[in-house]
Amino acid sequence: MTAEGRQRIDKWLFFARVVKSRSLAARLAQAGRVRVNRNKIDQASYLVRPGDVLTITLDRRILIYRILEAGERRGPAAEARLLYEDLTPPAPPAAASALQPLRERGAGRPTKKERRELDDWKGEG
């Protein structure tokens, strides 16, 4: 860490527990999946400082963090949470369509329940 409170992005991502290893943090930065103040970076050696806003694209989610301080070590999760402020918007609630059937009743191939009801109606059950 330099005197100005700056730190390499790969070290900060590792200390903040965004990724499991520093080499994964370096690959994440080099792949262009990290933005600092809306600017895409492609170097693991990019220096970040408190006040910078990071947009991190992971496999299934996007994280937005404001750096509060540089890390000294990779400590416990409670210590890592003190390094940033989470600005990620909350996930939308589960879609209402997930609670509804995927198709209208009577449309398409009958379900097993509908086949049983049909057999009972025909007297074949």
Would you list the DSSP string of the chain?
--TTS-EEHHHHHHHTTSSSSHHHHHHHHHTT-EEETTEE---TT-EE-TT-EEEEE-SS-EEEEEE-S--SS---HHHHGGGEEE-PPPPPPPPGGGTS-SS-TTSSSPPHHHHHHHHHHHT--
- Residue 49: the pLDDT is 96
Average pLDDT for 101-121: 80
pLDDT band at 123 (very low <50, low <70, confident <90, very high): confident
Average pLDDT for 83-103: 76
pLDDT band at 79 (very low <50, low <70, confident <90, very high): very high
> Tell me: the pLDDT tens digits for 23-69?
999 999 999 999 999 999 999 999 999 999 999 999 889 999 999 99
Does the predicted model carry a pTM greater than 0.85? no
pLDDT band at 4 (very low <50, low <70, confident <90, very high): confident
pLDDT of 77 strictly over 90: yes
pLDDT of 105 strictly over 70: no
